[in-house]
Structure 1
């Protein structure tokens, strides 16, 4: 069913986070991510502190209650004391600041004459200091879309968080390689009025960012947070949306979720939720066939339950495809208490819990036919926390839709992550002096759309190839090589830098990321000097990746030497058919000449022999 988004009062906004190239934001460490063995670990616990107004942020409080130990992995050669929070931050990275100011100019934003670095409280362990440094660079600005203008509320420069390695109930392991990578954060106004415009806005902002030479490219270097609300609802933030194509689906399904939650609010209008009363049902379910319950009892755990007055039939209500109110309850329980899940009356009898057990539970909890119940089977303390979280979520249904941060799933549905952070988590960074941006010398870059058109016009690249190379991290190298070697076709250079490297990854399962810019410079130098043939560049690149490239192996023979060598092979194998001769020559002359030239020489020699 197509929804009338205007009538529903849909409002969307986007926050884009784009990583920048170069050094880290507040130290001189490199920004390259690593997967080799780390050299050291640091173990810490973090606690929420009051912001400048004396308030503690609710999201930070929730994280502290989970009482996790955070482990940070680092490297002796690429991790410094700033990243371990053992030394104050250095001066802000001037290159990152310049790139941010370039973007501000692209969207006509009002750049702040004075920039104050702030601390944003973060207690999920993703920053060793317990806060993220962020600086508001500009306000205002806009971009144009097919459905109207979308305003830019703020543009900030901030440091990225640690890379998560693993997590369990007690510990969370991070790597420090990503911590401190500069990020541009762009927040739009809630001017987006449809799922399609939301996608278009994200693409447009991404295109403008990729027009800047100082941004990183590739998977994971840019991410979107999407904010969605409808009339009567509230703002919901989707954190770290990676798949652009899924944005319309995410928005559409969130609208559906909010519509259904508002319907439930209306149905509950004349009811009052009973107070929280957690009851131990372990004895009642001692002989139950449920595997989960049996396992819990064997581990000396408890089966606890609560009644929800007037909720019969509501917990099984579908809010999104294959996502029910019960899923919403379970999400809260999992995040707050770390339990595996919940049982609720709308899905029973099932999972080994039969009708006889249901009757016992209802009687024990004093349930009327209109009431529902929720069970949790786990460690007693965790089960109590989980049921308290479920009861809190049930209470929120009477008020409407709570502000929260959610994580999108592969099918476009979403799961609860944490409460929406408040302003209480921001306070000034006293270790970094005020910044006075110099906007006079900022040069605007060529916008990506214009670059793609120029590549098609000046270099005769196809639309797809022009797009591919313009958006790749080899764009600077491409322009350098095209200018330096005008006799080599630009399309060939572009294909070598992009699609050829992808072929190496796909066909040979080698990492083309090991190829440096100097490797490509060396390759095209030899090509321009006719020392190697175009037909064998794949072999050359493979050897370069393996670290075994030697020009002597590939250096071309002169025309005379080549003909002489092939003629000798043909004479030594007089009765061999053409295919066999071709195989012998290719083996003997591997890397010395292209297959095409070898084939032409064999045919010529065979013709001469028949005269």
Structure 2
């Protein structure tokens, strides 16, 4: 196990801030997302991937489609209507949301477009009833200054928030439509090469600028950070979702840099072994053999009519359980991948014999699959209808390990780590929205936005400290809290 050095990892971090707007209505209808509870109705959808206008499938959509999930929606008539159900076209774009997006663009010196076009972004994880999220590119470029740090702005978008996830069980995901359609501003910053603390300062500075505009929502869940992280020689960019706390942001950046550096080290070992792509000859159905195992986990899986499969990995001995850094293992990565198909996990040779699978069982498998001591295998149990997708995903992930860090989307967890969520989406997910006409931005709109740029954070602190006779530190803590509108 090696010692990890953040400074030597060549880490680059790009921030995307998603901030709800407090306009009193949703982006494409007059419903309020914060209305008192009303009558709850439920309905079910199944969402499937379709080809883009260029005839290509988005990889993230294909992955979600292969999970074969049903979506159960909870719709409250006080905070949702037929627009959220995708049973009625969107209404006109909320004018106040548009004005706020222009003010944010002006405050960040971003170049505002003369015409704003709505686009559809394919999303079939159930977070949107239509299978897409509406988003509008408002401006590009700009600069964020936070103390001694200057970070470039890539883009500023106005979009609708997703439905609120309630849970997932037995092949069914549940969402509430109260949050779906709430106006959201997305600010994407240029990648920076800095410490986790510097990344936090950039996120903190942008959050303070948004609060200075006043018309943004406050509280847990109203602002979220997505983080795009890459390391030197990783050959991929990983998007981290689900970050809501600044303390968590620092821990996640530190963890993800260590994880990716560990995967780079594993790939360097594998390149020396000349690993080949997995073929159908490397995949074995061992359900018949597994019926004799004493493992309670395997016997339970067989009783549930699961197929027990093994994937033979040539020249892979010791790799799946190898830890370049504490808690970073390729076997763990594969285990996280299969869990998103509803599969409990995997067994592999670096942790066997164990779990009721004895040494004689392992030796028989080696003989059955024509393996040597230099080889390894992965064992997985899953329903017949999912087996092909699961085995294909494992095979692709194993080969990707030889290249470095796979580009994927991961979910931040409270402890500061990340887990696999889905493949990273591609360009095929975007296409034009045909129900919303272009929004014309006049010179007067831009002038009005520039006149409403908020005061600097330092000026706001100074005025607050003077007004309430506070020291600078107390004034800053007060303004950072949820007690100030």
Q: Taking structure 1 as the reference length, what is the TM-score of the superposition? A: 0.74
Residues 288 and 353 of structure 1 are in contact (CA less than 8 Å); yes or no, is this contact kept in structure 2? yes
Higher relative contact order (CA closer than 8 Å, sequence separation 6+): 2
Look at both structures and tell me which one has the larger radius of gyration over its CA atoms: 1
Q: What do residues 390-444 of structure 1 show as CA deviations (whole Å, max 9, x unaligned)?
A: 2211111222221111112233222111111111111111211111231111211
Residues 452 and 463 of structure 1 are in contact (CA less than 8 Å); yes or no, is this contact kept in structure 2? yes
The aligned residue for residue 236 of structure 1 is 238
Q: Does 1:431 align with 2:435?
A: yes
Q: By percentage of residues, which structure has more helix?
A: 1
SS in 2 for 1:466: helix
Residues 6 and 257 of structure 2 are in contact (CA less than 8 Å); yes or no, is this contact kept in structure 1? no
Cα distance in 2 for partners of 1:218, 1:370 equals: 54
Residues 119 and 429 of structure 1 are in contact (CA less than 8 Å); yes or no, is this contact kept in structure 2? yes
Q: Following TM superposition, by how much is the alpha carbon of 1:289 offset from its aligned partner in structure 2, in angstroms?
A: 2.7
SS in 2 for 1:137: strand
The aligned residue for residue 225 of structure 1 is 226
Q: What do residues 352-372 of structure 1 show as CA deviations (whole Å, max 9, x unaligned)?
A: 211111111111121110101
Q: Does 1:441 align with 2:448?
A: yes
Cα distance in 1 for partners of 2:305, 2:62 equals: 30
Which of 325, 330, 342 is the matching residue for 2:330? 325
SS in 2 for 1:187: strand
Which of 405, 410, 413 is the matching residue for 1:409? 413
The aligned residue for residue 458 of structure 1 is 467
Q: Following TM superposition, by how much is the alpha carbon of 1:464 offset from its aligned partner in structure 2, in angstroms?
A: 5.8
Which of 453, 474, 479 is the matching residue for 1:470? 479
SS in 2 for 1:223: strand
Cα distance in 2 for partners of 1:464, 1:153 equals: 32
The aligned residue for residue 180 of structure 1 is 181
Q: Following TM superposition, by how much is the alpha carbon of 1:227 offset from its aligned partner in structure 2, in angstroms?
A: 0.7
Superposed CA RMSD? 2.0
SS in 2 for 1:318: coil
- Change in 2 beyond 3 A, CA 1:280/1:53: closer
Q: Following TM superposition, by how much is the alpha carbon of 1:16 offset from its aligned partner in structure 2, in angstroms?
A: 0.3
Q: Does 1:271 align with 2:298?
A: no
Cα distance in 1 for partners of 2:471, 2:175 equals: 43
- Change in 2 beyond 3 A, CA 1:48/1:352: same
Q: What do residues 176-233 of structure 1 show as CA deviations (whole Å, max 9, x unaligned)?
A: 1000000110001113433222111111111111111110000110000011112221
Cα distance in 1 for partners of 2:72, 2:165 equals: 10
Tell me the number of residue pairs that the alignment of Structure 1 and Structure 2 aligns: 473
Residues 262 and 328 of structure 2 are in contact (CA less than 8 Å); yes or no, is this contact kept in structure 1? no
Residues 117 and 133 of structure 1 are in contact (CA less than 8 Å); yes or no, is this contact kept in structure 2? yes
Residues 10 and 228 of structure 1 are in contact (CA less than 8 Å); yes or no, is this contact kept in structure 2? yes
Q: By percentage of residues, which structure has more strand?
A: 2
Q: What do residues 58-117 of structure 1 show as CA deviations (whole Å, max 9, x unaligned)?
A: 111111222222121112232211111111111111111111111112111111111111
Instruction: Give matches, 1:488-527, under 5 Å.
Output: none
Residues 238 and 406 of structure 1 are in contact (CA less than 8 Å); yes or no, is this contact kept in structure 2? yes
Which of 342, 357, 360 is the matching residue for 2:361? 357
Residue ranges of structure 2 left out of the alignment (5+ in a row): none
The aligned residue for residue 367 of structure 1 is 371
The aligned residue for residue 509 of structure 1 is none
Cα distance in 1 for partners of 2:30, 2:482 equals: 22
